[in-house]
Amino acid sequence: MASLWLSRASRRFLKPSPFSSLICLSHSLFSISSSPYNEKSCANPRPVPIPNHFHSPLRSFEQYRGGKWIPGSSVGSLTHISTSSSSSNAKSNGDCKVDDVSWIDLYLPRQARPYARLARLNKPIGTWLLAWPCMWSISLAADPGHLPDFMMLTLFGCGALFLRGAGCTINDLLDRDIDTMVERTKLRPIASGLLTPFKGLCFLGVQLLLGLGILIQLNNYSRILGASALLLVFTYPLMKRFTFWPQAYLGLTFNWGALLGWSAVQGSIDPAVVFPLYISGVCWTLVYDTIYAHQDKEDDLKVGVKSTALRFGDSTKKWITGFGIACISSLAICGLNAEIEWPYYACLAAASGQLAWQIWTVDLSSRIDCNKKFVSNKWFGAIIFSGILLGRLSS
């Protein structure tokens, strides 16, 4: 008798009240009103689980469906209509997809957005990777016990932004036919037709003029050294057509600042310090850009371009482990020749751990994880910079 009474009481407790129905209805309306309108998603609604705060505490007993309470079901399986669409159905919004909105789309005029995307302003990791060797070199060139020249750091930071943007523009102009056949690059401004090659060339001229404005503020030795890097910048995009080692060529290009930063402060280069620094940067680039290249290896095979990812294949982790060891060893030699103090070596040990984490844990078959590890290299650069800074101040 008692069990029958409890069963009836629980059924009475579980009946939906007008108030609870109103809550669920308002929740559904709020979900619809807060989602961007998309005709496809409305025509093909995708069920999404009700959040936990709308679940009954006794949801495991029964569920109301089709006018009946069904024992043994879960109220948590009830769903409501959602108007959010999947990434594969994302509509194009002018010059970008809805699911790829960045600060460019929020703050820049519509006419300026394709140019900002051409310069990769929405992806600053390339600027960081170009800037860090410059910052390392400038800090190493500082007098013992002193901070590096802040004005020089600022100039090289701006130069990295302009030169990286110019490099991306050159790359997209030369690779516009290849980019249309690669999933990751087919929506780039020139490949997608948002910008004509002529407009890209005009924009490149503006970028190079801005870079020239930075270069002429340096000493004569550094002007010549900096201008000579343009040969590497202009020829790098062609390397993937001829060699499996375009990542090594990128290393020579991206780490030119290791030579230029020292000369901008000291008036010339000290080979004992800057050459090991430059070699370490090239080896570092071979690590992170090989990981990055694994994102496109299937498309690269179809298109017929080359990369270290294809060259190394299943042995990639062994190869990049070797390059990682060479990178750290060269940084240690650089520190010894620069007579830098112990904080540098403590940070070098931390940077070694960060690099080892990348190599050992990266899933080379996952584009998402390859990109995650690639982006994490900004922290490797920051750790080395902190070590040089603290080591110089302790000298």
261 to each of 104, 134, 226, 255, 258, how far by Cα in Å? 30, 5, 10, 10, 6
Confidence class for position 352, pLDDT limits 50, 70, 90: very high
Confidence class for position 183, pLDDT limits 50, 70, 90: confident
State the pLDDT at residue 13.
Answer: 40
| 263 vs 228: CA distance, rounded Å | 14
Q: Tokens for 386?
A: 């902190």
Alpha carbon 71 to chain centroid, angstroms = 50
Say if pTM beats, i.e. exceeds, 0.85. Answer: no
Q: Tokens for 149?
A: 């020249």
Is the distance from CB of 247 to CB of 286 less than 8 angstroms? yes
Is the distance from CB of 83 to CB of 37 less than 8 angstroms? yes
State the pLDDT at residue 371.
Answer: 96
- pLDDT(60) > 90: no
State the pLDDT at residue 129.
Answer: 97
State the pLDDT at residue 64.
Answer: 37
State the pLDDT at residue 71.
Answer: 44
Is the distance from CB of 130 to CB of 159 less than 8 angstroms? no
| 197 vs 193: CA distance, rounded Å | 9
318 in helix, strand or coil?
helix
| 355 vs 327: CA distance, rounded Å | 10
Confidence class for position 42, pLDDT limits 50, 70, 90: very low
DSSP 44: S
| 156 vs 209: CA distance, rounded Å | 15
88 versus 246: which is more confidently predicted? 246
- pLDDT(381) > 90: yes
| 2 vs 9: CA distance, rounded Å | 11
- pLDDT(79) > 60: no
| 170 vs 190: CA distance, rounded Å | 11
| 222 vs 263: CA distance, rounded Å | 6
- pLDDT(364) > 80: yes
State the pLDDT at residue 100.
Answer: 65
